[in-house]
Amino acid sequence: MKIDDELLSVRAAELYYDEDKTQDEIGAILGLTRWKVGRLLATAKQRGFIRIEIVHPRARRLGLERALGERFGLADAVVVPVGDAADAAEVAARVATAAADHLTALRPVPRTLGISWGRTLLSVANALPEGWASGVAVVQINGGVSVNRRSGTAAATAVEIARKAGGGATLLPSPAILERVETKRSIESDRTVAGILDLAASADVYLFSAGATTPDSAHIESGYLRRDDMEELVRRGAVGDVVGRYIDADGRIVDPGLDERTVGLPLERLREAARTIAVVSGAEKVAVARAIVASGLCTVLVTDEGIANALLAAVHPPDDPGGSQDSSPRHPSRRTTT
């Protein structure tokens, strides 16, 4: 393209978008036919001279969403733009709101909703509108934080979500990680706990977040893990935790011994479930987000633009060059009952 055309297209774009002139008028002003003007505008858009941005806390990035969905075989994806957000907390809040919106719009309305807990899910709970659904039974799917923190977080999340849906919350009365396998076994065999785990396994929708392997992890803050435990996990390839279980980049359990002492739904149940919603935001969680989507832990990912871009930027076969499996049904064990 000639340099002159570039200038003209910019001038045309100014007149069209800033001045609300019609392409015909612009043609008259610049001495061009209106078709030429149309073409100039098209190239200007294509070459990125015209930037259209939707600035709203609840705006989403649909292009990224579709790309994510196709790339990782998700049923749905929600990507929140970072835009001019001041800090990570604001982005996290937007992601939580988006997750709440998604949950509210979910059809069919879940009968039983399994949830994990954490800062993220608490935000989601708070962002849900009163009466976002009706008659939803909420059940915790992994052991709680209530041991040596004020019992707030974990229980409050479940109760809030349930209350706003006019349903009941079932809490899992157990620590997240126990010190001895025997204790974990005996807790699980307790009638109450076993019943709750059965209920959790029968949920039709799961909602969970993920933890990074950073020192401010809830597991460390709550005393379930020490810093050097975490460092050891990282050495062994951990990228983060999902419902209390630490996984590597391939979504596999990093430390079976530790996992044996962790109370809650096994990850396989999440991989089988028809609808699992993962809510993840923040640069430190890119790795765990990648593990989640790559290993089929969720069918719906709610995240921020930064993570979405990072997930898509990872090298991937331009046209499946010798890939070991075809791309579409990446997780054949997934039920497809909608």
SS3 310: helix
DSSP code, position 48: T
Tokens 């002492």 sit on residue: 261
10 binds, among a copy of itself, DNA, none (CB under 5 to 8 A by kind): a copy of itself
Given candidates 38, 83, 173, 266, which one binds DNA under the rule CB under 7 A? 38
Binding-site size, a copy of itself (CB under 8 A): 26
Locate 66 and state its tokens: 């579709």
Given candidates 10, 32, 75, 159, which one binds DNA under the rule CB under 7 A? 32
Cβ closest to DNA, residue 33 vs residue 214: 33
Contact 317, 330 (CB under 8 A): no
Return the range that interacts with a copy of itself (CB under 8 A); candidates 52-60, 151-159, 206-214, 307-315. 52-60
15 is a contact residue toward a copy of itself (CB under 8 A) = yes
19 is a contact residue toward a copy of itself (CB under 8 A) = yes
Given candidates 7, 19, 42, 194, which one binds DNA under the rule CB under 7 A? 42
Given candidates 28, 30, 32, 50, which one binds a copy of itself under the rule CB under 8 A? 50
Contact 8, 26 (CB under 8 A): no
4 is a contact residue toward a copy of itself (CB under 8 A) = no
Locate 141 and state its tokens: 């799917």
Where on the phi/psi map is residue 296: left (φ > 0), alpha (ψ -120 to 50), or beta?
A: left
Identify the CA nearest to 141 among candidates 181, 120, 169. 169
Where on the phi/psi map is residue 118: left (φ > 0), alpha (ψ -120 to 50), or beta?
A: left
For residue 131, the minimal CB distance to DNA (Å) is 19
CA torsion, ordered 277, 270, 117, 89, to nearest 10 deg: -40
41 is a contact residue toward DNA (CB under 7 A) = yes
46 is a contact residue toward DNA (CB under 7 A) = no
36 is a contact residue toward DNA (CB under 7 A) = yes
Cβ closest to DNA, residue 62 vs residue 194: 62
7 is a contact residue toward DNA (CB under 7 A) = no
Contact 85, 57 (CB under 8 A): no
1 is a contact residue toward DNA (CB under 7 A) = yes
10 is a contact residue toward a copy of itself (CB under 8 A) = yes
Contact 240, 247 (CB under 8 A): yes
Round the CA-based radius of gyration of the chain to a whole number and report it. Answer: 24
Cβ closest to a copy of itself, residue 41 vs residue 197: 41
Distance CA 276, CA 273 (A): 7
Enumerate binding residues for a copy of itself (CB under 8 A). 6-7, 10-11, 13-15, 17-19, 48-56, 58-63, 101
Binding site for DNA (CB under 7 A): 1, 16, 22-24, 32-36, 38-39, 41-42
